[in-house]
C-alpha cells in the first residue's frame, strides 16, 4: 500500500491458502480480476485467527471483506477419510499444517465482523459454495444448517464466482447495500424472521432444515431438487427454511463466454508465490506451476465429485490464441526448463465440447451428458483440442507438452487420432484415468461407464504407444467404500485387478463431500434420485478392509485382506491358485509389519504422547496423573480443543 501510495483499500480478500499469484489459485485470480476492474485490493492469506488484529492491518476496507477457506473445503484439507489429522497441507508454505482453522469460513467471517463492524462480508470458494444449504457433515456425522446462518455473511457468491464478485463490487461501489444485491445470479443470502421469502413460479421451496435433520426421505428430496436446479439456463430460485429464518439461493451465474475466459486467464499473473514465503515450497503450486488451464466445468456428473456442482456442467473454453499466448509467456519465464506440465482442466479432453442444440441445452435437466450413455446431442469432436495440442508443442522453447489431467475414456475412444497423438507426444510414461470400480451397481450409482470401457481403452492406449515405439501405461484410480460397494464388490474388483495385472499405486477412500449426491447416499442409505436403498459402509474397520483389497498385493495388507476374504466366505482366494489374492501363509514382511504396528500402539498407550481422534473426538473422563495431552492440529493456541 505504501509503495502504491494508497491510504486505504476497497476490498480485503481473506483466504485459507497461501497467496500465489497464479490462475489456479482462487485468491490470486480474484485479486487480479478486481484489480483489473480498478479496485484497490489487499490479500490476507492464512491470517492468525486467534484475534482480529490481522484483519485490521490494511485499515477499514471501503467495500467489503471477501472470505474463502481456500481451494478446498477446510475439513477435507485437514482430515483423512478415517478422520485423522493429515500430515501436511498442500496449500501452505512448507506443507505446514495448522495455518488455517477447521471450518475456516466461519472463523474468517467472524473475525471480519469483529475487526470492522458494518463492513459487508461476502463468503465464497468451495467450502461456502457446497455448504450453502443444509448439508451432511461427515466429520461431525450430523446434518448442519446452511453456512450462511453460522457464518452470518451478508452474501455467498457460489460457484466459480468471477462475474458475481465483480457485480457485487460494482454494486457496493455504486452505493448499494448488500440487500440491494440479493437479486444477482450466483448469490445466496439469509432472510430474517420478519422478512417474507420470495414466491412464484420461478421459486421452489426445499424441505426445511428441521425436516432434513430427522427424515432421510426429506434429505433425499432436498438433494434431488438442488441438483436438478443447477443448469443456469433453467434453474429456479431455491428457498429453505431454518426455523423462523430462511436461506435463499438464486440461480447459478451464467457460464463465462470465450472472450471472458480469455480476459480472466490473460490477466498479468506473476505465476509465483508471494515473496514473503522465501524458499518455502508450496506443494500445490509445484504441481500447477507450469500448467495451463484450457477449460473449466465437467458434464460427467459423477455423484462423488464436487466439480460439476461447483464449476458447472457446461464446458467453458478459452480460445486457442489465448492458450498459446500463455504458453509463450510461460516459455519466456526465467527457469523454465521446457516442459508444460499439463494442458487441461477438470477433464483433459472436454475442451470446446458443448451441446450441439443450444435451445435443448437451455431446457435440459440431465445430470450427466455421458451417463448412462453419451448424449446424441453432445458435441464430442476432439478437433479443436488436437489443434491446440499441435500448436502448443511447436512453441519455441517448449520441449514437451504433457497432459496430466485425467482423460475421459469413453470420449477419447471415439477419436483414435486423438489417442494416437496423446500417446506419441503428450504422455510421459503414465496416463491418468478413473475407472473407479468394476461392480455394475456401484458404477451406476457413481454415474461412471462399465469396467469394459477401461479395459478397451487400456488396450487401445497401449497399442497406440507401441506404434510409436513407446512402452506406456495407464494409471487407474479406484475408490474404496463408495455407497453401493460392500466387501463382496471390492473382492470382485481385486480379482479384476489381478486378472488384468493392474497394481494401483494410489487408491482413494470415499469421503462424503457436502452437497454431493453420494454424500446423501452415505448419510441416508438411499439413492436420492430413485429413493431405492443403497448399501453403505461406515465402520472404520470395514473401510480399512476395502482399501486393503485394492492393494491386496502389498504384504502390509495381508491380514486385512485375509480378514475380508474369510468374512465373505471366499477361502478359495487364499492359497496358490491363479485367482488367489494372498498365499495361505503370511509372508515375512506381513509379520514384520504386524509386529511394528503392535509395538507402535503399545508405545502410544504407555507414553501418553499421542493424537486422540479427529475433529469429533471428545476427552472422556479425568486424565491419569502424569499424562498430558499434546496440542496438535489446527488450533494450536487452544490446548485440548478437538474441534469447533
Write the CB contacts of 19 (distance below 8 Å, at least 6 apart in sequence): 25, 27, 28, 43, 45, 273, 274
Q: Count of CB atoms within 10 A of residue 96's CB?
A: 13
Predicted pLDDT at 110:
97
The pTM is what?
0.91
Which of the following CATH numbers is that of domain 11-189: 3.30.230.10, 3.30.1490.20, 3.40.50.280, 3.40.190.10? 3.40.50.280
For 199, residues 6+ apart whose C-beta sits below 8 A from its C-beta are: none
Largest CA distance in the chain: 77
Question: Kindly report the CA angle at 225 between 222 and 227, in degrees rounded to 5?
Answer: 105
Sheet holding 508-509, edge to edge: 430-436, 473-480, 508-509
Q: What integer pLDDT is reported at residue 120 of this predicted model?
A: 98
SS3 content of the chain, % helix, strand, coil (to 5): 35, 15, 50
Phi, psi of 522 (to 5 degrees): -60, -45
Beta-bridge mates of residue 343: 292
Per-residue model confidence as pLDDT tens digits over 90-140: 999 999 999 999 999 999 999 999 999 999 999 999 999 999 999 999 999
Q: For residue range 509-529, what is the model confidence (pLDDT) as tens digits?
A: 999 999 999 999 999 999 999
The Cα–Cα gap between 479 and 551 comes to 12
Strands (E), 452-561: 473-480, 508-509
Average pLDDT over residues 467-479: 94
pLDDT in tens, 411-460: 999 999 999 999 999 999 999 999 999 999 999 999 999 999 999 999 99
Per-residue pLDDT of 9-31, as tens digits, reads: 999 999 999 999 999 999 999 99
| Among the listed residues 187, 127, 184, 108, the one whose alpha carbon sits nearest the alpha carbon of residue 154 | 187
Q: φ, ψ for residue 424 (rounded to 5)?
A: -80, -35
Sign of CA dihedral 240, 199, 255, 124: negative
CA distance 226 to 81: 25
SS3 465: helix
Which of 339, 320, 332 is CA-nearest to residue 270? Answer: 332
Q: Where are the domains of the chain?
A: 11-189, 290-428, 461-608
Question: Could you count the other beta carbons within 10 Å of the beta carbon of residue 232?
Answer: 18
Q: Domain 290-428 has what CATH class? A: alpha beta
Report the alpha-carbon distance of residue 294 to residue 509 in Å, rounded. 29
Amino acid at each position: 500500500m505504501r509503495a502504491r501510495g494508497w491510504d486505504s483499500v476497497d476490498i480485503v480478500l481473506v483466504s485459507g491458502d497461501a497467496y500465489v499469484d497464479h490462475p489456479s489459485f482462487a485468491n490470486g485470480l480474484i485479486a487480479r480480476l478486481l484489480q483489473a476492474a480498478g479496485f484497490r485490493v489487499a490479500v490476507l492469506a492464512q491470517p492468525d485467527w486467534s484475534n482480529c488484529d490481522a484483519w485490521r492491518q490494511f485499515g477499514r476496507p471501503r467495500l467489503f471483506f471477501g472470505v474463502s477457506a481456500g481451494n478446498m473445503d477446510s475439513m477435507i484439507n485437514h482430515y483423512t477419510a478415517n478422520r485423522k489429522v493429515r500430515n501436511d497441507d498442500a496449500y501452505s508454505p512448507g506443507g505446514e499444517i495448522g495455518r488455517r482453522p477447521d471450518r475456516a469460513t466461519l472463523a474468517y467471517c467472524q473475525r471480519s465482523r469483529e475487526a470492522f463492524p458494518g463492513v459487508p462480508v461476502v463468503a465464497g470458494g468451495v467450502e461456502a459454495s457446497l455448504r450453502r444449504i443444509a448439508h451432511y457433515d461427515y466429520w461431525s456425522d450430523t446434518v448442519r444448517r446452511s453456512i450462511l446462518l453460522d457464518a452470518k455473511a451478508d452474501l455467498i457468491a457460489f460457484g466459480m464466482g468471477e462475474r458475481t464478485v465483480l457485480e457485487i463490487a460494482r454494486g457496493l461501489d455504486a452505493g448499494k447495500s448488500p440487500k440491494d444485491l440479493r437479486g444477482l445470479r450466483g448469490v445466496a443470502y439469509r432472510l430474517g424472521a420478519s422478512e417474507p421469502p420470495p414466491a412464484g413460479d420461478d421459486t421452489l421451496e426445499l424441505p426445511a432444515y428441521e425436516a432434513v435433520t430427522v427424515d432421510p426421505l426429506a434429505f433425499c428430496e432436498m438433494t434431488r431438487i438442488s441438483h436438478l436446479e443447477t443448469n443456469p439456463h433453467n434453474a429456479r430460485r431455491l428457498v429453505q427454511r431454518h426455523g423462523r429464518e430462511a436461506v435463499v439461493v438464486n440461480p447459478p451465474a451464467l457460464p463465462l463466454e470465450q472472450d471472458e475466459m480469455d480476459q480472466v486467464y490473460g490477466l498479468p499473473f506473476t505465476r509465483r508465490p508471494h515473496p514473503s514465503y522465501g524458499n518455502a515450497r508450496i506443494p500445490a503450486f509445484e504441481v500447477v506451476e507450469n500448467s495451463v488451464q484450457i477449460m473449466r466445468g465437467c458434464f460427467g456428473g459423477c455423484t462423488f465429485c464436487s466439480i460439476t456442482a461447483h464449476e458447472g456442467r457446461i464446458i467453458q473454453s478459452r480460445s486457442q490464441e489465448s492458450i498459446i499466448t500463455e504458453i509463450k509467456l510461460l516459455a519466456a519465464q526465467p527457469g523454465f526448463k521446457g516442459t508444460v506440465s499439463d494442458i487441461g482442466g477438470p477433464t483433459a479432453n472436454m475442451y470446446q465440447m458443448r451441446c450441439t442444440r443450444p435451445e435443448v441445452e437451455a431446457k435440459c435437466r440431465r445430470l450427466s451428458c455421458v451417463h448412462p450413455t453419451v448424449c446424441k446431442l453432445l458435441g464430442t469432436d476432439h478437433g479443436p483440442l488436437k489443434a491446440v495440442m499441435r500448436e502448443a508443442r511447436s512453441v519455441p522453447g517448449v520441449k514437451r507438452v504433457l497432459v496430466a489431467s485425467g482423460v475421459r475414456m469413453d470420449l477419447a475412444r471415439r477419436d483414435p487420432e486423438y489417442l494416437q497423438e496423446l500417446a506419441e507426444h503428450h504422455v510421459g510414461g503414465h496416463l491418468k484415468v478413473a475407472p473407479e470400480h468394476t461392480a455394475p451397481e456401484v458404477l451406476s450409482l457413481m454415474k461412471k461407464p462399465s469396467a469394459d470401457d477401461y479395459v478397451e481403452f487400456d488396450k487401445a492406449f497401449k497399442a497406440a504407444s507401441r506404434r510409436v515405439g513407446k512402452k506406456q501405461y495407464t494409471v487407474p484410480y479406484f475408490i474404496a467404500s463408495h455407497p453401493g460397494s460392500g466387501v463382496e464388490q471390492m473382492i470382485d474388483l481385486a480379482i479384476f485387478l489381478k486378472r488384468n495385472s493392474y497394481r494401483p499405486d494410489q487408491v482413494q477412500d470415499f469421503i462424503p463431500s457436502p452437497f454431493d449426491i453420494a454424500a446423501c447416499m452415505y448419510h441416508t442409505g438411499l439413492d436420492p434420485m430413485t429413493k431405492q436403498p443403497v448399501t453403505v459402509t461406515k465402520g472404520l474397520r470395514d473401510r480399512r478392509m476395502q482399501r486393503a483389497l485394492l492393494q491386496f498385493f502389498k504384504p502390509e495388507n495381508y491380514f486385512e485382506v485375509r480378514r475380508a476374504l474369510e468374512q465373505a466366505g471366499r477361502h478359495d482366494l487364499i492359497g496358490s491358485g491363479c485367482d488367489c489374492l494372498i498365499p495361505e501363509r503370511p509372508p515375512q514382511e506381513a509379520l514384520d509389519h504386524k509386529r511394528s504396528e503392535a509395538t507402535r500402539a503399545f508405545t502410544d498407550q504407555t507414553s501418553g504422547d499421542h493424537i486422540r481422534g479427529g475433529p469429533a473426538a471428545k476427552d472422556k473422563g479425568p486424565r491419569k496423573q502424569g499424562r498430558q495431552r499434546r496440542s496438535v492440529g489446527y488450533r494450536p493456541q487452544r490446548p485440548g480443543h478437538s474441534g469447533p
